[in-house]
Chains A and B, each alone.
Chain A
Amino acid sequence: MAEEKSQASSSKMLTLKASDGVLFEVELNIAKEMKTVQAYIDDCEDIETIPIPNVLGKHLAIVIEYIKKTNEEYDAEFEKQWNMDDLQLLLLAANYLNISGLQECLCKAIAKRIENKSPEYVRKVFNIENDHSPEEEAKLRKEYKWAFEGVDKD
């Protein structure tokens, strides 16, 4: 009985349910790349549908495709298709699902896109408040004046 089960497990299918209700049928070995899902399976063996409450169907589809296709070439071209908002949402998804390869790929991509921009742009992109006092900010800008040479227009 145990043998049969392990033979079948490689082609066993699992259903992932995105936050907007979209369902995805994936092979077990694909789902296992998402460590969060793996933990879910470990906890409740007989589960067939796993809820992914934080990720939209659109992004879950992209994540699943990444896991299936990832290699050096694919990764290099992967990030070029998405805008900054999608990249961030994909990164949050990869973070929640705990997929280290995809997290790294997306962090690198976002870093590349912001590296020449201004601090104002970065605040907008990450939706953060400037909690420096005006004196602190002036001090930082003076101390790191050299770092502001050659900044992209937003």
Chain B
Amino acid sequence: MEVPQDIGFEIFSWLPAKSICKFKSTCNTFSKFSEETLFRKKQTQNLFGRDDTCLFIQSDEVSQRYIPKRIELYSLPKHQESSGAPNNVLSFLSKNTTSVIASSNGLVLCHNINDPLKVFICNPITKSWSFIPIPESLQINNNFANAKLMLHCSLDDYKVYFLFENTMEWNPTYTCSVYHGKEGVWKTMERCFLPGGRDMKFDMPVFYNGALHFISNSGEYYERPSPFYKPYIMSYNLENGISTMFRLPREAIRDCHRPCNNMGIFNWGKASNSNGSICLVKIRKSTFTVWYLRDYESCSWEKVFKMRVRAMGLKEKDLDVTSFTVVNGNLLVFATNERVYSCGLDDKRFMVIEEICQHNCGFNPHFISYLDTYRSCGINAKTMPC
């Protein structure tokens, strides 16, 4: 039974990019699909909101500066065959001291470690990139070397958020300038982000409910009755610029002033359905605990997971967990000194442990999840020289 071309086109537009590339050798007609703008747009839209299937693993930026290591891309469990990106693009990025900052719907936000003004969006599948033009006025007034960058994609546009520290105050505040990819314009938010007295963990931003959320560090910097005595979450409303403090679960912050305490916040569940929320992951004394924010308005948390690392049946003897993240709102990914593992947090694969890879990214590897699509890098997009 022969399938008409337009049906083949439709079916292919639901495939991840790696499969589409593989099937180019099927026949001439199929090999040309991915060259069409309409096809790329369809495939991007069809895959929007789908779970990420791969993981970028890199050393932290400080290490990268002195001992540059290859940016590695590994498949998440159950996606070994269908997902990936071209090796030569990864090599190219690695050679040019690039750091991957964020990824969404197939776009990857990067910057050059040695030249912080070189910030770009790229798509490893289409081998295209688009450098973000940084106006002189922004360059003069802000320190790009210390800027905190975040990426957010909607269906037809992307925004890159830059937070610049205003160091004149005792408690630093941050000016937020946003680059809109579709129009190629910059807008600066009227109100600054006020994170309060503690440092924020800007490397784990959570976009939720129209606001950016960050968790603060822990540690003994304050005494009672300071409002910053315990660690907290601070949100920054992206519409009106208002900063709001969220308290953390009591159990999580009970012993927060002791060392060896590590907490992070991540997206929880699916943003598309009403189960989406924020989760808090804490690791202390080699035990992972996860809470999710059951009610945003009243800030009530519910514990959903607790597991000792020793009980996970991992290969190595030295079970020092260094970094962790939650991917797709339902998968805990963490690293020991040698390997990266995943642990299911949702009903389907609750507490199922799988090994993702061995890594040589040192003490504090960074994880960024990725899904291979044909999404356009927007205006100014050029072909990557690789």
- A and B interact physically: yes
Interface residues of A (CB under 8 A from B): 85, 88-89, 91-92, 95, 103, 107-108, 110-112, 114-116, 118-119, 122-123, 126-132, 137, 140-141, 144, 146-152
Quick one: which of B2, B14, B27, B28 contacts A111, CB cutoff 8 A? Answer: B14
Enumerate chain A residues within 8 angstroms of B29, measured Cβ to Cβ: 128
Enumerate chain B residues within 8 angstroms of A110, measured Cβ to Cβ: 11
> CA of A118 to CA of B21 in the docked complex: distance in angstroms?
11
> CA of A110 to CA of B7 in the docked complex: distance in angstroms?
11
Q: Does B24 contact A (CB under 8 A)?
A: yes
Extra pairs beyond A116-B81, A123-B27 (8, CB < 8 Å): A91-B7, A110-B11, A111-B15, A114-B19, A118-B22, A123-B26, A144-B22, A146-B87
Contact A127-B1, Cβ < 8 Å, known A111-B15, A115-B82, A146-B87: yes
Say how far B244's CB is from chain A's closest CB, in angstroms.
33
Interface residues of B (CB under 8 A from A): 1-4, 7-8, 10-16, 18-19, 21-31, 75, 80-82, 84-87
Say how far B250's CB is from chain A's closest CB, in angstroms.
37
> CA of A111 to CA of B30 in the docked complex: distance in angstroms?
14
Describe A's contact surface by its main secondary structure.
helix
> CA of A87 to CA of B31 in the docked complex: distance in angstroms?
23
Enumerate chain A residues within 8 angstroms of B11, measured Cβ to Cβ: 91, 107, 110-111, 114
Say how far A82's CB is from chain B's closest CB, in angstroms.
14
> CA of A131 to CA of B31 in the docked complex: distance in angstroms?
11
> CA of A152 to CA of B75 in the docked complex: distance in angstroms?
15
Q: Which residue of A lies closest to B12 (CB)?
A: A111
Q: Which residue of A lies closest to B3 (CB)?
A: A126
Report the 7 A-B pairs with minimum CB-CB distance, sorted nearest first: A111-B14, A150-B81, A147-B21, A116-B81, A147-B22, A119-B26, A144-B21
Do B26 and A107 touch (CB < 8 A)? no
Enumerate chain A residues within 8 angstroms of B27, measured Cβ to Cβ: 123, 128-132
Chosen A-B contacts, 14 in total, with CB atoms closer than 8 Å, are A107-B10, A107-B14, A108-B14, A110-B11, A111-B11, A111-B12, A114-B19, A116-B81, A131-B28, A140-B24, A146-B21, A146-B84, A150-B81, A151-B81
Say how far A127's CB is from chain B's closest CB, in angstroms.
5
Say how far A101's CB is from chain B's closest CB, in angstroms.
13
> Interface centre among A103, A112, A128, A141, by most B CB within 10 Å?
A128
Quick one: which of B1, B4, B22 contacts A148, CB cutoff 8 A? Answer: B22
> CA of A115 to CA of B18 in the docked complex: distance in angstroms?
9
Enumerate chain A residues within 8 angstroms of B26, measured Cβ to Cβ: 119, 122-123, 128, 130
Do A151 and B3 touch (CB < 8 A)? no
Quick one: which of B13, B16, B18, B31 contacts A132, CB cutoff 8 A? Answer: B31
Enumerate chain A residues within 8 angstroms of B84, measured Cβ to Cβ: 146-147, 149
Quick one: which of A116, A123, A140 contacts B31, CB cutoff 8 A? Answer: A140
Do B24 and A127 touch (CB < 8 A)? no
Enumerate chain B residues within 8 angstroms of A137, measured Cβ to Cβ: 25
> CA of A114 to CA of B22 in the docked complex: distance in angstroms?
11
Enumerate chain A residues within 8 angstroms of B14, measured Cβ to Cβ: 107-108, 111-112
Enumerate chain B residues within 8 angstroms of A148, measured Cβ to Cβ: 22
> CA of A129 to CA of B10 in the docked complex: distance in angstroms?
19
Say how far B270's CB is from chain A's closest CB, in angstroms.
12
> CA of A55 to CA of B4 in the docked complex: distance in angstroms?
16
> CA of A89 to CA of B16 in the docked complex: distance in angstroms?
24
Enumerate chain A residues within 8 angstroms of B8, measured Cβ to Cβ: 126
Do A144 and B24 touch (CB < 8 A)? yes
Do A116 and B82 touch (CB < 8 A)? yes
